[in-house]
Amino acid sequence: MSENISTKLLIVGGGPGGYVAGIRAGQLGIDTVLVEADRLGGTCLIRGCIPSKAIIHVAGEYETMAHAAAKSTHGISLKSKPVIDFAETVKWKEGIVGKLNMGVTQLLKRSKVRVIAGWAEFQNGKTAIVKTKDGDITITAEHVLLANGSVPVELPFMPFGGDVISSTEALMLSEVPQKLAVVGAGYIGLELGIAFRKLGAEVTVVEALDRMLPLYDSELTKPVLKWLEKNGVTLHLGAKAKGTEKGALLAEASDGKALKIPADKILVTVGRRPATKGWGLEKMMVDMAGPFVKVDDQCRTSMRDVWAVGDLVGEPMLEHKAATQGEMVAEIIAGHKRRFNPASIPAVCFTEPEIITAGLSPDEAKAKGIETIVGMFPFQANGRALSMDAGEGFVRVVARKDDHRILGMQAVGAHASELSAEFSHALEMGSLLEDIAGTIHVHPTLSEAFHEAALRALGHAIHI
């Protein structure tokens, strides 16, 4: 049965960019239709950020118990090694995903957004035909918001299927593989590789570049490398994956030597690309910026009243960027004056230990010709970190030398991700080192390390 719908705003994609835009549009009284082919929540909620952090959490619990079984830890010991039923872990993880998916569904319903389950394909800039289980629906809109997201990059000589998996399949395995090969030492590959190592898998990582986590400087990645070495993760840098044969990944080492890496599963994490295929983008007549849809600082495309947000419009491919852009677009359509011009888009890598960055690193500031002062404070001198047996890592603050304006902050350590909000807030407020130094930080917390880093940059740290 066919149906025709006219609406003020059509949103394609129910991920964070799309559903947040829909909720805000509904709050503002905008007649809105949202189309999603999969479950509401997008990559982050359904098969990315949330499920991976759930698995990482369980991996940490398992590791703690395994250590206690091998040797008394903090006075705690176990008589036998823990046993994991990974199918039950995945079931628990899916329960969390289901709860959050239901929450998004209810929020959209409360905002009076009509949600249509189906695949939208555009006929022109303002008209899409949605294929649903009950037939086609033709939707014509005054405004269109493209929030189609991204998909994992597939290696042409190692297509996904069978034992070659993406992060999506890795989070749905029924058991922990005995031997896991990871292609790509970016944040996705290392987050999952470390988690599976904690769960008992033998893990080998192959990276084509000569360093891991290339988005982070060597000071930040050094504690992660130390963990990998200590825990028996094999890391081949400057090595190229070449293909597979039954039960193995074939690769070429940096010296040209052939590598045959035994593997029950081969996890390919060489990046993500915008989802631009199969929904009629070519009929939208919008300008492109390489593989991404080109937008301005209001997320307007080159076609009038067609907007795009999130992974579709470029790096960084992060949930909080997409959500912020989606909310902004809804408000602009409602007549508000908004622009996307954040002081920073902080990023977190949930490795062991965690890494957080916001703003400029010392090297990035130097490349811009800015003279800086840098303050670093180690978690080894932080009481809260030591009380959690988490002294590895540090907090670093980068500021202009002339006026002490903070340009960036970085941290590496257990639970360091929880500092991201304070880092981001300091940059948005244009804080000086003196502002952080003059702010009372609760004791005992990890945030004291940020306070001390600012004090150290000013030349008078207290606890070091």
- Using CA atoms, how far residue 429 sits from 175, 342, 362, 436, in Å, is 47, 11, 20, 11
Of 57, 443, 460, 463, the active-site residue reads 443
The sign of the CA dihedral 304, 305, 308, 309 is positive
| Dihedral of the alpha carbons of 284, 320, 218, 204, in degrees to the nearest 10 | -80
CATH of 164-270, picked from 2.30.30.830, 3.50.50.60, 1.20.120.1200, 3.90.76.10, is 3.50.50.60
Query: What is the structure's pLDDT at 384?
Result: 96
Q: Give the closest residue to 73 by CA, choosing from 446, 445, 388, 444.
A: 388
Residue 279 sits at φ, ψ, to 5 deg, of: -130, 15
Residue 419 DSSP label? G
Residue whose tokens read 């997409």: 322
Q: Give the closest residue to 18 by CA, choosing from 323, 409, 460.
A: 323
Contact residues for 241 (Cβ-Cβ < 8 A; gap 6+): 155, 158, 183, 206, 208, 249, 250, 251, 268
For the chain, the helix, strand and coil percentages under 3-state DSSP, each to the nearest 5: 35, 30, 35
C-alpha–C-alpha distance, residues 299 and 312, integer Å: 11
User: And the tokens for 336?
Assistant: 């508000």
* Domain positions in the chain: 3-47+90-151+273-333, 164-270, 347-458
Catalytic-residue membership of 415: no
The structural architecture, per CATH, of the domain 347-458 is 2-Layer Sandwich (3.30)
464 residues of the chain, pLDDT tens digit each: 579 999 999 999 999 999 999 999 999 999 999 999 999 999 999 999 999 999 999 999 999 999 999 999 899 999 999 999 999 999 999 999 999 999 999 999 999 999 999 999 999 999 999 999 999 999 999 999 999 999 999 999 999 999 999 999 999 999 999 999 999 999 999 999 999 999 999 999 999 999 999 999 999 999 999 999 999 999 999 999 999 999 999 999 999 999 999 999 999 999 999 999 999 999 998 999 999 999 999 999 999 999 999 999 999 999 999 999 999 999 999 999 999 999 999 999 999 999 999 999 999 999 999 999 999 999 999 999 999 999 999 999 999 999 999 999 999 999 999 999 999 999 999 999 999 999 999 999 999 999 999 999 999 999 99
User: What count of other Cβ atoms lies within 10 Å of the Cβ of residue 222?
Assistant: 14
CATH fold match for the domains 3-47+90-151+273-333 and 164-270: yes
Query: What is the structure's pLDDT at 1?
Result: 55
CATH of 3-47+90-151+273-333, picked from 3.40.1390.30, 3.50.50.60, 1.10.287.70, 3.40.640.10, is 3.50.50.60
CB 189 within 8 A of CB 205: yes
CB 171 within 8 A of CB 55: yes
Query: What is the structure's pLDDT at 73?
Result: 87
Query: What is the structure's pLDDT at 185?
Result: 97
Residue whose tokens read 């980068």: 398
